[in-house]
Structure 1
């Protein structure tokens, strides 16, 4: 009888969805501003992009022609599209592992409560994160210059190279150079994520390991890493999405050059829509189709990582 009365009470509390919404109407009122912003800047652009992808439209003027999926069919035969698409995910694979490993190593070192000036080192590592991308791009172009850049000067003086290396002008090296700049800029935010994950390790485990005479590397391998491992999936997802949104850095440094060797998907979409090559007209509809495909790819990556997070949590629950 007690169970039946409890069920009846739950049904009375929320008999219908409308009643539950009305009961929490004040709470939902506070969600309206955020929903309006989400709809205006995220939901509507997604719908508009798909609509524009079905048009043959330059983006200038009102004249446009509905062509269905012709833009998507043309993309399948566009070598520049495939190269930019592959380059985007190659850039992600080149940066995310280094970013996560370096960030974790720094977090383990700076999480030590007895380390002097730990907060100062944290601030120094995080400083590039809050620095404007445009400023970083200009500074890096000057520092990496093959003519009078200090980095090339150092390499020549230390006899590591015999002549200046054009790190941002070489088709073979430009993408890896940009990857290094990206890792340097964003490792600070990954450090913050790992520091938050390390706070979940109970202090009692450190104290017990110290009393048992366990070495530091053993504590890290057998205590710290198993506890923070589930956070790696979430941190990896955030880092991967960040690595795929690298337009500001590349546009401010190389603009996709030289010879399109650093053109990722975002730069390709921008070039097609607003800054086409000489002799061509802007193609906003075609660029929108490329954006839709790229967006769906990122969405698929996100879904896969969400599934991975759920599986990790499920295994943790089973072990408990």
Structure 2
């Protein structure tokens, strides 16, 4: 009995020590996470709660008094043609930019992942520099380059490619594609880094085996590498789509939603409604309702994309 009691006592002490170690480990984890949680609550959670409150008010944001109107702002939004124009422009922009960014960034990543390429670190840096460049600076420079009297039009005219200067940002036909190409140049480096992380997870043995079997570099990519990095690609596609739906800075700097609202997206619409006086007194409550309505749409789309990605991964594994 004494032996059994000592054994059970030792087991109990061991369990208590393991629980104590677990609690200490969890405590340290929460301690390191606490600052992130606090900053999230202050700069993300609290503003979201305030936006929900403001969306139910008729308030300019400039006065101390506000009128509670319930869902009237949302009802007005449903009948606002400019809101729906900005809403669909956001998705139009996303539909144009996402395939381009995914394809171009993957191509660059695959080329720069080649260990035989000399100076690949320099090339990676060159392609990533636009990412860390301020969007307002990029916008100002591009306005100069793409202006009617800008260098690009002078080159096109000099080589007789066009008969008259093209107003890239002032023509509704060219404004959106121009913004897409500039955003592609600026943001492509981010997704290139993501693709590089996925490609570097592919074993070198895979490439060696494909070479031994006589596969070309293109065949190796499409039939071997691409299926292996498909799960990573799904995550990159979701991030790219969500970031594209939130575009603001480059549009605000270059076109401010013009010409004739051809490039107006939800972010510029909300900014104009909440802070600009060009349409009269600012309407912070109305802008909050617009932002929340679009935000819910983005959340739903993100959830659907995650479900689709999970189903595809499940079928792939099965």
Do they fold alike, i.e. is TM over 0.5? Answer: yes
Cα separation, partners in 2 of 1:194 and 1:22, compared to 1, 3 Å: closer
Show structure 1 runs of 5+ residues with no match: 1-7
Alignment check: 8 A CA contact 1:103 1:188 kept = yes
Residue 3 of structure 2: aligned partner: none
Q: Which SS does the other structure have where 2:108 is aligned?
A: helix
| Most deviating of 299-308 and 44-53 | 299-308
**CA distance in 1: counterparts of 2:241 and 2:192, whole angstroms:** 15
| Most deviating of 251-260 and 176-185 | 251-260
Does 2:35 correspond to 1:42? no
**CA distance in 2: counterparts of 1:210 and 1:145, whole angstroms:** 49
Cα separation, partners in 2 of 1:26 and 1:207, compared to 1, 3 Å: closer
Residue 138 of structure 1: aligned partner: 140
Instruction: Give matches, 1:178-257, under 5 Å.
Output: 178-257=179-258
RMSD between superposed Cα atoms in Å: 2.3
Residue 112 of structure 1: aligned partner: 114
Cα separation, partners in 2 of 1:202 and 1:296, compared to 1, 3 Å: same
Residue 161 (structure 1) shift: 0.8
Alignment check: 8 A CA contact 1:92 1:240 kept = yes
**CA distance in 1: counterparts of 2:109 and 2:56, whole angstroms:** 48
Instruction: Give matches, 1:1-320, under 5 Å.
Output: 24-147=26-149, 149-278=150-279, 280-318=280-318
Q: Which SS does the other structure have where 1:307 is aligned?
A: helix
**Deviation string, structure 1 residues 109-165 (Cα, Å, up to 9, x no partner):** 111100111111111111100111111111100000102x11111111122110000
Residue 315 (structure 1) shift: 2.4
**Deviation string, structure 1 residues 205-245 (Cα, Å, up to 9, x no partner):** 11111122222221111111111112121101111122122
Cα separation, partners in 2 of 1:26 and 1:103, compared to 1, 3 Å: closer
Q: Which SS does the other structure have where 1:153 is aligned?
A: helix
**CA distance in 1: counterparts of 2:243 and 2:235, whole angstroms:** 12
**CA distance in 2: counterparts of 1:113 and 1:27, whole angstroms:** 38
**CA distance in 2: counterparts of 1:26 and 1:203, whole angstroms:** 38
Residue 26 (structure 1) shift: 3.3
**CA distance in 2: counterparts of 1:312 and 1:292, whole angstroms:** 30
| Most deviating of 77-86 and 20-29 | 20-29
Show structure 2 runs of 5+ residues with no match: 1-10
Residue 310 (structure 1) shift: 1.8
Give the total of aligned pairs: 307
**CA distance in 2: counterparts of 1:130 and 1:216, whole angstroms:** 32
**CA distance in 2: counterparts of 1:20 and 1:205, whole angstroms:** 40
**CA distance in 2: counterparts of 1:298 and 1:270, whole angstroms:** 18
Residue 21 (structure 1) shift: 5.9
Alignment check: 8 A CA contact 1:233 1:308 kept = no
**CA distance in 1: counterparts of 2:22 and 2:121, whole angstroms:** 47
The ranges of structure 1 where at least 4 consecutive aligned residues each deviate by more than 3 angstroms after the TM superposition are: 19-23
**CA distance in 1: counterparts of 2:201 and 2:309, whole angstroms:** 17
Cα separation, partners in 2 of 1:42 and 1:21, compared to 1, 3 Å: farther
Residue 20 (structure 1) shift: 7.0
Residue 5 of structure 1: aligned partner: none
Cα separation, partners in 2 of 1:316 and 1:254, compared to 1, 3 Å: same
